[in-house]
Amino acid sequence: MRTQNSSSPVLAQAPIVLLGLAILLLAPQAYSADLASKDAALKFIPKAVAASLEKNQIPKDAISISVMEIDQDRPGKVTAKTEVDWRSQQAMNPASTMKLITTLAGLDVLGPQYRWRTNIYTDGLIRQGTLKGNLYLQGTGDPKLIPEEFAKMMNAIQNLGIQKIDGNLFFDRSAYTPSVMEHNTIDGESLRAYNVPPDPLLYAFRTLSFQLGKSRTADFIDISYTPPLSKLKVINQMQLVNRSCDDWKSNLRFNLDPEGDGSATNQLLTAQFSGSFPNACKGVNYNVVALDANTFLTQGFAAAWELAGGTWAQAPTGKSSTVPLAARLLLQFEGIPLADDVQDINKFSNNVMARQLMLTLALEKMGKPATTENGELVIQSWLKGLDLQFPELVIENGSGLSRNEAVSAEHLTQLLVAARNLSVADTFYNSLPIAGKDGTMKNRLMAHLRKFLHLKKKPEARIKTGALVDVRAISGYVMSKSGRMYAVTSFINHPNALKGLDAHDQLLAWLLNDGPDPKQAR
Count of helix runs (H) and strand runs (E) in the chain: 13, 22
Tell which residue, 41, 35, 88, has the closest CA to residue 65: 88
| pLDDT single digits (tens) 248-275 | 999 999 999 876 444 566 678 999 999 9
Distance CA 259, CA 225 (A): 19
Domain 3-94+406-522 is of which CATH architecture?
3-Layer(aba) Sandwich (3.40)
> Are the C-beta atoms of residues 374 and 380 closer than 8 Å to each other?
no
Distance CA 205, CA 191 (A): 12
- Report if pTM > 0.75: yes
User: Is it the case that residue 219 has pLDDT exceeding 70?
Assistant: yes
Tell which residue, 355, 368, 392, 395, has the closest CA to residue 379: 395
What integer pLDDT is reported at residue 10 of this predicted model?
33
> Are the C-beta atoms of residues 271 and 254 closer than 8 Å to each other?
yes
User: Is it the case that residue 21 has pLDDT exceeding 60?
Assistant: no
* Per-domain boundaries in the chain: 3-94+406-522, 115-336
**What is the full DSSP assignment across 325-346?**
TT-EEEEEEEEEEHHHHHHHHH
Confidence of residue 459 (pLDDT cuts 50, 70, 90): very high
Q: If you average pLDDT over every residue of the chain, what do you get?
A: 90
| pLDDT single digits (tens) 278-287 | 988 988 999 9
> Are the C-beta atoms of residues 210 and 225 closer than 8 Å to each other?
yes
User: Is it the case that residue 463 has pLDDT exceeding 50?
Assistant: yes
User: Is it the case that residue 170 has pLDDT exceeding 60?
Assistant: yes
Distance CA 419, CA 342 (A): 15
